[in-house]
Amino acid sequence: MNPPIFDQRLVASVDEDGNRSCTASTPGPAGVAELNLGNGAVITVDYVEPDQLVSIEFAPSTRRSVITALIGTGQASELLTLHYSPDITARRLGVPLEDDMPSLRAMRGSNYAARQLGQLALLNTVSRDDRSPYLTRAVASLELAHTIAGGDLDHVPGLRRMLQPAVRATADLFIVAQPDLGDFVERDPQLARRVAQLCREVAPNNRTLASVARFINDRIVERDNDDGLAGWHNMGVARQAMIRHSLALEPMDEVDRFELLAPPMYSVYSAPAPRYLRKVADYQVELLGGGRLFVHFHRPAAGAWVRVIHARTLVLLALAPVRSYDGDQTAEAIVPTSLAADDLKIEITDTPLPVSASALARAQQAIRLARNAADLSITGAASAAGELWRASAAIWSEIGDDTRARLAERQGWGKLSNRRDVTLADRVAASERRANR
């Protein structure tokens, strides 16, 4: 029997619809990368450190064998015995409820498959990011398909079935990216040769990818012969060949299709809490069944208001005044029953003003800056990356997330190591940035 792909200690929860969530850690300032295995299992990892598992989500229809392969027999058996209860928000698998959260070491992928799945999640996220250039997205999708086709991860349940959809998505992206191919080949022929090689290897019978490889190779020959005019003439011909050979895309649907390819990944998850009572210096938070939330103050708080905010989306959930009950100063509110205590962010204020409507947009901006910083730093642009990291840190601090602010600040000063492998998509993105200076 193969060992589990992910051997991290997990915190599990079940929602009212039977969806099971297994959380290993909380992501950093750049959010998460995601990979849907297509069998009801969705893996998320930290964007900056894809060897750090964040969570695995299992749909009610996910087969037991899939869950077992991913998290092991023991944790799978325990997870499948759990059922939704409003009184139990989450529990740790395999250890007593009162045990501490897992160490950072325990959150890391400990085998080749786990690390490779993290890298695939990163490539998948880049390929679906509609704010990235089409050529970068196309190469990320190409790398994703090429890794799956390599066969090293065939034991991962559901992964092999992703190959053909990944090849089709890659072909479609290259169709839209084709106008940029000529400049790319002219600028970086060695890198372009590697792209052409992967196009030939990943799906030898895919005529669209074969057209991409042929165009790159022909353009390199024309470049070496200094025949730029012929190259520009052939760009339109190559583009029409790619469109004609694509099974997944009709020429008239090109713009509409790629507007809808996928939204950018802006998720910032909060790990479910193993307890439902949280103590703070001046108050403690008590979350009871039915979504009843009490904030008890240890010192006078007359006139204060409590704002209850969703820690992930930053949406205002409740606004309650602090009242005195027989000397006990408490604010009482009702929150959605699906939330755990750590899903809630508590703010104490003297004025009952709601959280800024732009807070979510600011969080998205912080994530985008952190991702751009990570992409820059991985290709050696440390100075530019540092500026973006510090800008991200400032926004996280502004919206009250001091933990992510500190992490981004430390990244900005080069105090944290980077465990991301440099991908072909990273190198192509760096090439495009140089061209746009």
What is the mean pLDDT of the segment spanning 280-306? Answer: 78
Mean pLDDT is lowest, of 35-44, 220-229, 320-329, for 220-229
Give the sign of the dihedral formed by CA 240, CA 244, CA 248, CA 250. positive
Token pair recorded at residue 85 = 């209860």
Query: Is the pLDDT assigned to residue 267 strictly greater than 60?
Result: no
Q: List Cβ<8 Å contacts ≥24 apart for 154-157.
A: 155/2, 155/69, 155/113, 156/5, 156/37, 156/69, 156/113, 156/117, 157/37, 157/39, 157/41, 157/63, 157/65, 157/66, 157/69, 157/70
Q: How confident is the model at residue 62 (pLDDT cuts 50, 70, 90)?
A: very high
Domains and CATH numbers, the chain: 11-116 (no CATH), 130-149+158-259 (no CATH), 277-349 (2.60.40), 359-435 (no CATH)
Query: Is the pLDDT assigned to residue 270 strictly greater than 50?
Result: no
Q: Dump the DSSP string for 56-112.
A: EEE-TT--HHHHHHHH-HHHHHHHHH----TT---EESSS-TTSPPPPHHHHB--SH
What is the mean pLDDT of the segment spanning 207-217? Answer: 93
Q: How confident is the model at residue 95 (pLDDT cuts 50, 70, 90)?
A: low
Q: How confident is the model at residue 1 (pLDDT cuts 50, 70, 90)?
A: low
Which segment, 30-34, 98-102, 289-293, is predicted with the most confidence on average?
30-34
**When comparing pLDDT for 232 and 162, which is higher?**
162
Mean residue pLDDT of the chain comes to 80
Q: Dump the DSSP string for 341-383.
A: GGGEEEEEESS-PPPPTTHHHHHHHHHHHHHHHHHHHHTT-HH
What is the mean pLDDT of the segment spanning 56-63? Answer: 94
DSSP code at position 52: B
Cβ within 8 Å of residue 281, ≥6 positions away: none
pLDDT at 232: 41
Token pair recorded at residue 192 = 């372009």
Mean pLDDT is lowest, of 79-93, 152-166, 261-275, for 261-275
pLDDT at 416: 63
**When comparing pLDDT for 135 and 400, which is higher?**
135
Which segment, 2-16, 187-201, 423-437, is predicted with the most confidence on average?
187-201
pLDDT at 42: 94
Mean pLDDT is lowest, of 55-59, 179-183, 244-248, 297-301, for 244-248
Beta strands at 323-325 and 328-334: parallel, antiparallel or unpaired: antiparallel
Which segment, 136-140, 272-276, 286-290, is predicted with the most confidence on average?
136-140
Confidence (pTM): 0.70
pLDDT at 136: 95
The CA distance from 149 to 282, in Å, is 56
What is the mean pLDDT of the segment spanning 264-293? Answer: 54
Contact (CB, 8 A) for 398 and 29:
no
For residue range 222-245, list pLDDT tens digits in order.
877 765 444 444 545 555 555 454
For residue range 362-390, list pLDDT tens digits in order.
888 899 999 999 998 888 788 888 999 99
Q: How far apart are the first and last CA of the chain?
A: 53
pLDDT at 3: 83
What is the mean pLDDT of the segment spanning 35-55? Answer: 92
pLDDT at 226: 63
